[in-house]
Amino acid sequence: MAFIVKTVKTVRNNWKKSLAAGVAVYFVGRFAARKYNEDLLRREFCKEAKKYGKVKIGVTDKPRRIIVFLNPASASGGAVKSFNKNAAPILHLAGIEVNVVKVCYYIVLFSQTKPLKPTLTLNAEHPFVGDNITFTCHSTIQRWPAGYRTSHLTYQFNGKPRGVTVNNKLTIHTLTMSDEGKVISCQATDDLQKASIKSDAVTLDPYYGPDNVMLEPVHTALNVTKGNILGPINCTATCNPKCLFEWRLNRTGTFVDVLSNETLVVANIKENQAGIYRCLVVHPLNRTRLRRTDISVNVQYSPKIESLWLSDKNETYGSGRHTIYSFNEGNHLTITLRIKSNPDPQIVINSSLMKFPKLHYTKRSDDFTTKLPSLKCENSGNFTIHASNGIAYGDKKTVNLEIKCKPRDVKTELKIGTKVDTDVNIVMNVVSFPTPTVTWLRMTEFVWTVLKDKYDYKHNISSTIRITSKDDFGVHGIKICNTLGCIVENITLQPGDKPEAPLYFSVEKTTSISVNLSWIVGFNGGHEQTFSIQFKTTDSDQATKIVQTSDTKTGSKVYYILDQLKPDTMYHVMVLSTNKYGNRNASLEFKTEGKMMGFLKEESELICFKRPPTRSSPSMSRNGSSCMIELCLFRGFESRIAFISLSYNCCCTSLRTSCCFV
């Protein structure tokens, strides 16, 4: 510690000497360190050069040589010493032959080579057919020292290109597809006529398309059934490079993406996949270059009845999904059906209760509207609506139509014959919907029973009246009512008796062998009546025929044909109406017409054979009587006559003639 203190005091007291000594020590140390580092660096370079020098040179390889121009006067004569100390050992260890040329004056060296390999660029980088393209060729020359003799280069373009060359630029106007495959290169030549090697070649490959956009198979519109497969529809186009394909669908005025592919396939197609399908072809390097083609796809499907409405001008009956509809008789109804269908369906309405005519519909959107024929109470029941368009089985909807109507009597005998101390059973068939109520207007102690028939609108109403005295005979009113109104039917109870004689018994038409008779049915006396006809000639011939008729209601008219009569003969005919109490009759006389042909002999005998009518012959008369053909042979005169027995008409040309020759 005392040494340190003493040293510090000495430096403080002799600070100038101490500072000079410190500077000297610093520079000496720095010089020594640099020499040491140089020695280490030379050592490392020598080691690397030694490795390089140990590599053997091939027999055919040229030896490595170097010429060193050394000026002994440079660096104040230290250049030679520095070269020998630092560079020469390293070059020798590397195996390089060194030739040192000592010069005593300055030498200026100039270096000039041929132009470097040109670079060929083009603009635009991705040209399309129809565009202009410019090639630019660029090269340089290495010269030393820099700036010695300015170089002038000229350029040549190879590959037989068409176009205009200006300096180092080649411009080709309006590329075509025929330019595809041309190989373009360039070469530079300096002012010493030294030419560079050729540049890298550029092969012209102009882009084009999309062109010739087509669909295969070729269609502009296509129908496909729901559930089937749409396609495959291939979209093709001419493009370089290969274009991009996009399928889009327009259903509501806007196109939406469907598929990114050349081929359109839609499996199990549905209604909402109908519309305009567009194939959009886009160039991959320029999306503004595009083409398109469209195909309209119509998806057809079987009808589906979604709902229906019944309405008249004032009211709508039932909602769209009801199955039972109620309305009043006499309304002029319009039916509206909401049907999803493509194509439009054929609509048929069927009912076991009536035959519908062919209906004509008007369409608005999915609603089909038509007017129904006038419907009556008797038409109430199930109606089946069938919509079909040829696809699958269509659709059916069954609705029940309840047609309301005021009561009305169908068929009731208004006069009933009876006796005192007997019960009279009165039965009436009434059409009414809803169910009617029945009351007596004259006597109230008797009860009516109302029974619904097979159909809701048919009712059997019955009541039993006890006839206790003659005062119970006469007219009895029956009031039948429902919510739509009332009717009054009058039934006359009178003492049981023989039936009333047929009224207005008359001859409708006579021929030589037949007569058409008619009469009005009178009151049956309170019991079922039948009719029979008795007729005779002046020769007292008599015959009786039973009239078969189901219409024996009072006031109805009966027609009857009496045939197989003799020509030109007076007949007395009587029609009898009979019940269990007896009968009454009406009679008249008539005469048949004369012989049919003037040339028939008196002794001719008429023989007739009946046969059914031919297909071309009428089968029924105006009033429902059966037609018949008779073949008649007159003996002694071989003629045959065909006769059709009709109420009013016959087979001959004239409707007033009853026979004709065959």
Same domain? 186 vs 233: no
pLDDT(383) > 50:
yes
Q: How confident is the model at residue 582 (pLDDT cuts 50, 70, 90)?
A: confident
- Domain-located, residue 550: yes
Long-range contacts of 99-107 (CB under 8 A, 24+ apart): 99/65, 99/66, 99/67, 99/68, 100/68, 100/70, 101/67, 101/68, 101/69, 101/70, 102/70, 102/71, 102/72, 103/69, 103/70, 103/71, 104/71, 104/72, 104/73, 106/71, 107/69
The three-class DSSP label of residue 367 is: strand
Predicted local confidence at residue 145, as pLDDT: 56
pLDDT bin (cut points 50, 70, 90) of residue 125 is confident
Looking at the fold, whether 172 and 246 belong to one and the same domain comes out as no
In which band, very low, low, confident or very high, does the pLDDT at 277 lie, cut at 50, 70 and 90? very high
Angle among Cα 312, 313, 314 to the nearest 5 degrees reads: 90
Residues 91 and 81 grouped into a single domain: yes
What's the pLDDT band for 135 if we cut at 50, 70, 90? Answer: confident
- The C-alpha atoms of residue 465 and residue 472 are separated, in whole angstroms, by 9
Residue with tokens 């007729």: 535
| Spacing of C-alpha 465 from chain mean position | 69
**pLDDT score recorded for residue 516:** 92
Task: Assess if residue 320 is contained within a domain.
Answer: yes
Query: Looking at the domain assignment, is residue 619 inside a domain?
Result: yes
306 and 295 in a common domain: no
- Whether 567 is covered by a domain: the verdict is yes
Domain at 458, CATH number? 2.60.40
Least confident of 158-162, 263-267, 479-483, 558-562: 158-162
Please compute the mean of the pLDDT values over residues 399-407 and round it to a whole number: 87
Are residues 123 and 197 both part of a single domain? yes
Residues with Cβ < 8 Å from 74, sequence gap 6 or more?
none
Domain boundary, last residue among 454, 483, 512: 483
Evaluate if residue 304 carries a pLDDT over 80: yes
What does the alpha-carbon distance between residue 580 and residue 496 come to, in Å, rounded to a whole number? 10
Q: What is the pLDDT of residue 146?
A: 54
The count of domains in the chain is 7
Among 270, 300, 330, residue at a domain's last position: 300
Q: How far apart are the first and last CA of the chain?
A: 179
User: pLDDT band at residue 585, thresholds of 50, 70 and 90?
Assistant: very high
Residue 10 lies in a domain: no
- Taking Cα atoms as reference points, which of 19, 95, 25, 39 lies closest to residue 64? 95
The reply to whether 91 and 120 lie within a common domain is no
Could you tell me if residue 490 is inside a domain? no
492: in domain: no
Does residue 615 carry a pLDDT above 50?
A: no
Helix pair 15-53, 2-13: axis angle to 10 deg: 100
Residues in a beta bridge with 369: 336, 362
Residue 144: per-residue pLDDT: 60
Range from 64-78, 162-176, 630-644 that averages highest in pLDDT: 162-176
What's the confidence (pLDDT) of residue 613?
52
Same domain, 331 and 414: no
Task: With CA atoms as reference, report the closest residue to 281 among 254, 255, 266, 262.
Answer: 262
**Which tokens belong to 337?**
């059906």
Domain ranges, residue 75: 15-102
pLDDT above 60 for 193: yes
More reliable by pLDDT, 395 or 8: 395
Residue 134 near residue 121, CB atoms below 8 Å: no
pLDDT digits (tens, 9 = 90+) for 313-364: 666 665 556 678 888 887 788 888 889 888 889 888 888 777 777 878 888 8
Residues 185 and 262 in one domain: no
Which pLDDT band, with edges at 50, 70 and 90, does 520 fall under?
very high
What's residue 24's pLDDT? Answer: 81
Q: Which of 59, 75, 102 is the last residue of a domain?
A: 102
Q: What is the CATH number of the domain that holds 195?
A: 2.60.40.10
CB within 8 Å of 626: residues ≥ 6 apart: 619, 620
Structure tokens at 537: 């000639």
Pair (527, 560) in one structural domain: yes
Q: Are residues 97 and 31 in the same domain?
A: yes
User: Residue 509 and residue 86: Cα distance in Å, rounded?
Assistant: 164
Mean pLDDT of the chain, nearest integer: 79
Lookup result for tokens 């009013």: 648
CA distance 152 to 461: 131
E strand residue ranges, 312-421: 316-317, 324-328, 334-342, 346-350, 362-364, 367-371, 381-388, 395-409, 415-418
**622 closest CA partner among 647, 645, 643:** 647
Higher local confidence (pLDDT), 490 or 316 = 490
Rounded Cα gap, residues 509 and 648, in angstroms: 8
Judge if 638 and 611 occupy the same domain.
yes
Residue 84 contacts residue 164 (beta carbons within 8 Å)? no
Give domain status of residue 405, yes or no.
no
- Given this model, what pLDDT does residue 586 score? 92
289, 210 in Cβ contact below 8 A?
yes
Decide if pLDDT at 602 tops 60.
no
- Picking from 390, 382, 391, 389, the residue whose alpha carbon sits closest to that of residue 368 is 389
> How does DSSP classify residue 285?
T
Residues 582 and 652 in one domain: no
Residue 651 has pLDDT above 70, yes or no: no
- Rounded Cα distance between 246 and 213, Å, is 12
For 76-85, 255-264, 389-398, which range has the lowest pLDDT when averaged over its residues? 76-85
Digit-coded pLDDT (tens) for 288-300: 888 899 999 999 9
Q: How far apart, in whole angstroms, are the C-alpha atoms of residue 354 and residue 366?
A: 28
> Residues 31-82: pLDDT tens digits?
888 888 888 888 888 888 888 777 777 777 777 778 887 777 777 777 778 8
